[in-house]
Chain A
């Protein structure tokens, strides 16, 4: 076993340590904080590459290091870390994207007065995220998973003085936690069923044959419960609502946490515990995988539709992220684990690129995020434009030069061969068109057409911000080398097969289909929105506002289909529906509980106490009204009698004497009568 496996913990430890040191720094040590965070990230990247190297040696390399965390009763709870192709690929991607974003942040956040806190949070996030990847125990994974959630919560609410940011942070925290509850129960079930939470443990792990057989039929439920966690974290329907709101955080955060890495953790989780999902599969179909596919399909389509109706540059990207995550889920569900993971990694690069590009635009436009107020930035921000265009092409899935095109093709390929149904396949094809469409719309609004309100005094961003853009753009393009069907190196690496090179496989029928679809999407975009780029420079009504009389400012889709557009602009009213139902009901439950406590349960106690008091009152009254009164009456009666008697005692000695005489006389008469 390589030394790197036993010391794999150093990878998350480096950023975590940096985070702790930064937290203890004074708020004024800004450059030190940034430097420390970047150093920590470089260390993590170096170690990740070192960890990546041994996995190249043999196909299907997997090495674990397990140890006892603690012993309760007679049982040891063991955790550990694993190094395999899945983990190694993720490690490098996260560390590399993270490094780019750290550097970018140093420029983007330069003016923020809480810079040190920002870098502490960011490093903390990075460490926790790297921990998720290397965990060899579902429990350890859950620990880091929650820490990642915490970091996300802190980072979304970083601008804590903004009430909207705080509200978004709370929403993210609670929504993901709903999913995590399912995940938690899944862990409990898995632990009870298989007796271990280690993924790989020399044949005894829960993902290995013995553990799976121990679970038996309950594997489906366990898998579905774990999937709940993935749904929450990866913004899948119906728990996706937090992700667009999470854009309240600083843009680098959106890039790192809510686009490239954390939200992909759900997909990674499903890939990691894939044996649970596929256990007992017939033709690669299990009930749990069908659920995964269904949720993924709904999410992918719904999010790409909503993206068409948004005006906030980051929200569009957020919905795009949701939709791409749905796509990855579909890929995993239909059996294309490697395809999904490839898309995940490629997505990490290009979505980070897009978000950083958006950050650069926002920075240039003085923190304006409404795309209707931008326009014509093409010549003002050339580097941003070029890199953004690369990102957009990659996301849209333009083949040949862009990594996203190849991975998307792989996924479409996988869906086409799914045995259960072809519906996801066709829906995903529609999704490709929609993706190209909304990205074209965004490009036209931002970079083409005439300059509008926010385009005044726009400047290109400093090199510290453009450099990461360039690096990520190059990555997005260069990455496609290992993805092509001719040399499916990454695919083979992930599935553990030896890779071969065959140029004849480069051109597949699916390539033309996908090329055609992307062309349709982009073409449609130019047809629909080409003129929208030339919007008047005048005032722009606020999003969702009421002044709809100036048709010239309307979105083309809104002009054509106002009802549909309104539906999409308001995110299908899902937030409102949740507010009216789940949120309102649970809040009501809270108030009912409080009311019950104050009035019913405490009422019972008070009633019981009241009974006691009542008895007391009764007994006191009985004392007062009955016994006491009787005693008093006896007293007064005696006194009255005494008064009557005393009236006879006149003090006249002769009266007494007379009475004596009368008495004697009476005695005499009595005597005589008796005798």
Chain B
């Protein structure tokens, strides 16, 4: 079976849906972060796949973007985790159902 673009896109969509589901359904903040990371990974996978199956794939561009994006995701995860910890310190919980201060 030759790898095709559709296959990558299916995997990436599945990954995205899983991530989304995790982000929406879990009540723990860290799991939500993990879900978000998974959605980012799905996006990265798409990037690489679209680069690989483009008409004239130039060697570094697609990979570079993916790596750059992973780096940003790492930074974001660090900030996210710091926020979670700060929230935890403040509210003594990481259950997002209890965090409704943004309510209008």
Q: Which residues of A contact B (CB under 8 A)?
A: 645-654, 657-658, 661
Contact = CB atoms under 8 A, between A and B. Distances in A.
Given A645-B104, A646-B104, A651 B23 contact: no
Contacts of B25: 654
Contacts of A648: 104
15 contacts: A646-B103, A646-B104, A647-B104, A648-B104, A649-B103, A651-B100, A651-B101, A651-B103, A652-B97, A653-B32, A653-B96, A654-B24, A654-B25, A657-B23, A658-B24
Contacts of B96: 652-654
A648 B104 CA distance: 8
Lowest 4 CB-CB distances: which A-B pairs, in order? A651-B100, A649-B104, A646-B104, A651-B103
A282 B101 CA distance: 127
Contacts of B32: 653-654
A647 B103 CA distance: 8
B1 interface: no
Contacts of B103: 646, 649-651
A661 B99 contact: no
Of the candidates B25, B97, B104, the one having the most CB atoms from chain A within 10 angstroms of its own CB is: B104
A667 to B, nearest CB: 15
Given A649-B104, A651-B102, 14 more contacts: A645-B104, A646-B104, A647-B104, A648-B104, A649-B102, A651-B100, A652-B96, A653-B99, A653-B102, A657-B20, A657-B23, A657-B24, A658-B24, A661-B20
Contacts of B101: 651
A377 to B, nearest CB: 124
Nearest to A643: B104
A652 B104 contact: no
Interface string B24-48: 1100000010000000000000000
Interface string B68-93: 00000000000000000000000000
A645 B103 CA distance: 11
A661 B24 CA distance: 10
B100 A652 contact: yes
Contacts of A654: 23-25, 32, 96
A404 to B, nearest CB: 125
A650 B99 CA distance: 10
A295 B2 CA distance: 154
B88 to A, nearest CB: 15
Nearest to B102: A651
A650 B104 CA distance: 7
Contacts of A650: 100, 103
A21 B95 CA distance: 122
A657 B32 CA distance: 10
Contacts of A651: 99-104
Contacts of B99: 651, 653
B26 to A, nearest CB: 8
B23 to A, nearest CB: 6
A54 B104 CA distance: 126
A658 B23 CA distance: 9
B73 to A, nearest CB: 17
B87 to A, nearest CB: 11
B34 to A, nearest CB: 14
A649 B102 CA distance: 7
A648 B100 CA distance: 12
Nearest to A649: B104
Interface in B9-64: 20, 23-25, 32
A668 to B, nearest CB: 11
Nearest to B16: A661
A643 to B, nearest CB: 9
A650 B100 CA distance: 7
Contacts of B24: 654, 657-658, 661
Nearest to A645: B104
A654 B24 CA distance: 5
Contacts of B20: 657, 661
A647 B96 CA distance: 18
Nearest to B103: A651
Contacts of B100: 650-652
A284 B93 CA distance: 140
Contacts of B102: 649, 651, 653
A649 B103 CA distance: 5
A671 to B, nearest CB: 15
A653 B96 CA distance: 7
Contacts of A653: 32, 96, 99, 102
Contacts of A645: 104
B31 to A, nearest CB: 11
A658 B24 CA distance: 6
Contacts of A652: 96-97, 100
A645 to B, nearest CB: 7
A652 B24 CA distance: 10
Contacts of A657: 20, 23-24
A654 B102 CA distance: 12
A547 B61 CA distance: 149
Contacts of B104: 645-649, 651
A215 B102 CA distance: 112
Contacts of A646: 103-104
A654 B97 CA distance: 9
B102 to A, nearest CB: 4
A606 to B, nearest CB: 59
Nearest to B17: A661
A658 B20 CA distance: 8
A95 to B, nearest CB: 118
B7 to A, nearest CB: 20
A438 B45 CA distance: 154
A657 B19 CA distance: 12
A646 B102 CA distance: 10
